[in-house]
Amino acid sequence: MINLENISFDHCIKCTVCTAYCPVARVTHLYPGPKQSGPDTERLRIKNPNLLDESLKYCNNCKRCEIACPSDVKIADIIQNAKWKYSPKKFRLRDMLLSHTDLTGRIATFAGPVFNFFTRLFPVKRLLDFFLNISSKKTLPEYARGTFHHWFNSCRSTQEDYDTRVVYFHGCYVNYNDHELGKDVLCVLNAMNIGVTLTNEKCCGVPLIANSFLSKARRNAAYNIKSLEKSIGGTNRKVVVSSSSCTFALKHEYPNLLEMDTSTISSHIEYITSYICKQFLQKNIPDMKPLNLTAAYHSPCHLERMGGVIYSVEVLKRIPGLELKLLHSECCGISGTYGFKKEFEQIAQDIGNDLFRQIKSLQPDIVITDCETCKWQIEMNTPYEVLHPVSVIARALSGNKFDLTV
Ligand code: SF4
Ligand code: SF4
């Protein structure tokens, strides 16, 4: 059954602004753009689902069309819904492996460096390309040894001493790939006299949604909502999230796309730089030493959709000695798992090329972005290290007294 309230296609005024903003329609004639694939054909699909257009698969769910739309049409949601409801259901092992991040994360973190070594070998890349259609031009992300959740047990008791505590939704990326970012979140919040508690969490569902594993995405959402409700426990405790895409899923994809009731948790969820920025405004600013670096900042699409870029920029502007250069707003192309798929790899590259050129022409010392998959795409296409804004603050903290590395 189609939820007419959510899809909102009748509000379209045919201005085509969304198509001008769509990064996929800009680089390939295979995709007609959000207006045609979204509100225009939704009317026809409702009458006759056989009218499904094969080109829908090219939409990478970046949401830039929704940022541009003056009528607040949920264009990307319409397209995503159409893919789920009307596309023929085909099981693909590749899509399962790329989207079930808890499963692959557990296996990969158990193997740790061995997994990283093998996935970087050219013959292995060729095999993945040939048998699974995972582009050999891409490098799969590195995995840590063990999980962040397990590491946190070693410092859990130190977090209980703080009067103010937040729940930290770390997401799969911190749990399986980048423990350092999770440690940086602890360092920075502790330096502001704020303790951290973790909740039991599953993948937020972003890759499951993108790969049409809808039932699994809903099960994960139900689990996360229940777990966060328990951690909040009827208090006004905040839930901070260090991934912009996880934040977007918890706040927007759960109610709009998955049709889950998030009323008990939604007002508690906050992207980490928004939370830090508000603390800074209340004069809760940690001591920071000058960094003396030039940084190029890239704003991820989902953070732009939430209106959250301003917080990251404001927080970064408070770091002494950081010369911040804002890059033009562009999609990097990777869109989670999209750019790893052989059939979309060239489109993802073509989308990102302008951004890579901008970064190279600025010659910064570092690049900063809030999204882990933007980081992978930029690091694969430029020679620069890409850091999360919280990691940059952690580097500026004076002294090592909050260094929780073990
Ligand atoms: S979500 Fe992104 S790729 Fe899809 S139609 Fe909108 S702008 Fe284009
Ligand atoms: S921007 Fe919005 S109103 Fe304009 S064509 Fe696209 S969906 Fe319709």
Question: What's the whole-model pTM score?
Answer: 0.93
Range 4-86 has CATH code 1.10.1060.10: yes
CA dist 90 to 56, 93, 225, Å? Answer: 15, 10, 29
199 phi, psi to nearest 5 deg: -115, 165
76 lines ligand 1 (CB under 6 A): yes
CA 274, CA 202: separation in Å to the nearest integer?
Answer: 23
Atom of ligand 1 nearest to the CA of 76: 1
Yes or no: say if 381 and 308 are a contact pair by the CB < 8 Å rule.
no
3-state secondary structure of 370: coil
22 lines ligand 1 (CB under 6 A): yes
Q: Look at the block and give the residue holding tokens 């405004």.
A: 281
List pLDDT tens digits, range 133-165: 999 999 999 999 999 999 999 999 999 999 999
Chain CA centroid to CA 145, Å: 22
Ligand 2, CB cutoff 6 Å, lining residues = 12-18, 34-35, 39, 68-69, 71, 73, 75
69 lines ligand 1 (CB under 6 A): no
CATH architecture of 285-396: 3-Layer(aba) Sandwich (3.40)
- Chain region(s) in the chain for CATH 1.10.1060.10: 4-86
Minimum mean pLDDT among 50-54, 121-125, 229-233: which range? 50-54
- Chain region(s) in the chain for CATH 3.40.50: 285-396
Among protein residues, the one with the nearest Cα to ligand 2's atom 3 is: 12
Work out the mean pLDDT of the chain and round it to a whole number: 92
CA 262, CA 267: separation in Å to the nearest integer?
Answer: 9
Q: Nearest 5 degrees, angle CA 79-CA 208-CA 388? A: 100
Token pair for residue 339? 């750019």
Least Cα distance to 242 among 180, 152, 181 occurs for 181
Give burial (CB, 10 Å; 0-12/13-18/19+) of 350: middle
Q: In what order do the strands lie in the sheet with 269-271?
A: 194-198, 164-169, 239-241, 269-271
Among protein residues, the one with the nearest Cα to ligand 2's atom 6 is: 18
Atom of ligand 1 nearest to the CA of 60: 3
List pLDDT tens digits, range 61-82: 999 999 999 999 999 999 998 8
Q: Which ligand is nearest to the CA of 61?
A: 1
